[in-house]
A and B are shown apart, each in its own frame.
Chain A
Amino acid sequence: MGAAVPSLVRWGLTSDADLVYRTLVTFGPHTERSLAVELGLSARRTAQALAELRECGAAAATADPRTTVRLWTPARPAAVVERLRCRRLKLVDPAEKLRSFQAVLRSSGLMAMVGPGRLPPLRGEVAAGIRYLDTRPRARDRIGELVSAPVGEYWTMTTDQAVDAEAARAAAPLDNALVARGTQIRLLAPPVADGDAWDVSGHLIDGRSYQRLDSFEVPARMMLIDHRVALLPADPADLERGWLEITDPGLLDSLTGVYNRHWADAAAKRRDPVTPINLSDRERALVTLLAAGHTDRTAAEQLRISPRSVTGTLRVLMDRLGVENRFQLGLALGGLQATVPPSLMSEVSSTHGE
C-alpha cells in the first residue's frame, strides 16, 4: 500500500511506457489523448507506450464498442513486476525441457538404453551400471543412503525455476547434513523467484563450501555424488516416475562433462553480468567522443548535432541501461568493454591476453 511504483525501465520497457504507467497508477485511468496532453508526449509516442504496456499486460483499455473513447487502466504494480520478471526469466517451457533432457541422454549414450517414453519395465538393474529407482520415495531413500556415507562433492543442477515443495522438504535436511559434514556443494539452477518460500537452503550458500550459480541453460535435472554416482529423473516431466542411478564409469564421465561445461559457462556469465547492448551509429560516435574527453558541447559540434540531441541521445541510452547518471553510464559501458578512455588504450590488448 502506498509503495513507490517500481521502475519498468529496469524490466526492459521504454521510459515512455514507464512514464505512462506511473501516471496511470498514480492518477488513475486516462484516455490516450489525455495522457498525451498531460505528459506532453506526441500522439505517436503515447500510442507506442500504450502498445508496449498492453503487450506486457501492464495496462488494458476498456473495450466498449459504443464509444470511441477508450479508457486505459493499469494493472497492479506487483503483478506487473512479477509478469515482467517471468518474461525476463524466460520460464523454461516443458517441451524445451524434454528436448534438452533427451540431448543429454543422447550425448551421454544413455539414450540407447533408456529414455523418456521408454521407462524401464521394472525397478532395479536396467543395464550394467544403470539402476531404475521406480518411485519418488524409493529414489529419496536411495539418495539418503548414498549421502549417509562420507561425501566429498555433491553437485546438483535443476531446470526448475520455482522450488518444488516436496523436493525442498527432502533437500533441506540433506543440505544441512552435507554442509555440516564439510561436503563441497554446487547448485546450478535458474534464478529463484524473489521470496520463494521453498528456497530453504538459500541461507547455506556461502560461495565457498556451498556454491550456487544461475543458469537458464541447465539441460536437465541431475545430481552427481563424488563422480561415482549420477542421478537423473527417469521422466523429466514427472518426478513421480522415479530416478535413474548411474554408476557406469563411461556414462559418469560424460554426465560430469555436461555438468562441468554448464558450470563453467555460468561462471563466465557471472563475470560479465551486464547484458550486451547494441549501440546505434550515433550513440557509438557520441560515446567514443565523450570517452576521449569531449564535453557535451564539443561532441555536439563534432557530430554536427545540437547539444540538446546529445543530452537526448544519452538519456535514451541511460534508460536502456537502467542507469541514472553519467558515472553509472560510464561504468555500464566500460563493463561491456564498449569503449575505453584513451589513458587505458594500452590495457585493451594486454587484458585480452589474460
Chain B
Amino acid sequence: MPKITLSERERRLVELLAQGHTDTSAAEQLGISARSVTNILRSLMDRLGVDNRFQLGLALGFLRKASVPRPSVGGGDESG
C-alpha cells in the first residue's frame, strides 16, 4: 500500500521526535505551534493507516524514513 514520501516539514518533525523531542519542544524547534505538530502527525498517521504513536514509529522505522540516533561513537557526546 503506502509508498509514502515525507514533505520537508514532516521529515524535520519526525527527525526531532526520533531524537527524543516532545511535541512541544519539537514545535519550538520548528517555530510552529503544538497544534500544527499534532496535525502533521495526524495526517501522517492517516496516510500510513495507523492509529497511535507507537504504530507510527513502527511504520516509519520499517520504511526506513527515520531511525533512533545511534549511541554516539565518534562525534557528539553526552558526557561533555
Contacts and interface: CB of A to CB of B under 8 A. Distances in A.
B48 interface: yes
B73 to A, nearest CB: 4
**A214, A291, A327, A329 — which one has the most chain B CB atoms within 10 A of its CB?**
A327
Chain A interface residue bracket vs B:
35 or more
Interface of A: 3-4, 6-7, 10-11, 77-78, 81, 85, 88-89, 191-195, 214, 271, 273-274, 290-291, 293, 321-337, 339-344, 346-347
A194 B80 CA distance: 11
A221 to B, nearest CB: 19
B71 interface: yes
Interface of B: 1-2, 17-18, 20, 48-64, 66-68, 70-75, 77-80
A323 B55 contact: no
B62 A191 contact: no
Contact of A327 (B2, B17, B49): B17
Contacts of A81: 77, 79
A344 B53 contact: no
B68 A335 contact: yes
A41 B25 CA distance: 33
A85 B75 CA distance: 13
A293 B56 CA distance: 10
Given A333-B61, A344-B48, A3 B80 contact: yes
A292 to B, nearest CB: 9
B78 A10 contact: yes
Contact of A293 (B51, B64, B68): B51
A209 B64 CA distance: 25
A345 to B, nearest CB: 9
A40 to B, nearest CB: 26
15 contacts: A192-B74, A194-B72, A274-B68, A290-B54, A291-B54, A293-B52, A323-B20, A328-B18, A328-B68, A330-B53, A330-B56, A330-B58, A330-B59, A335-B61, A340-B59
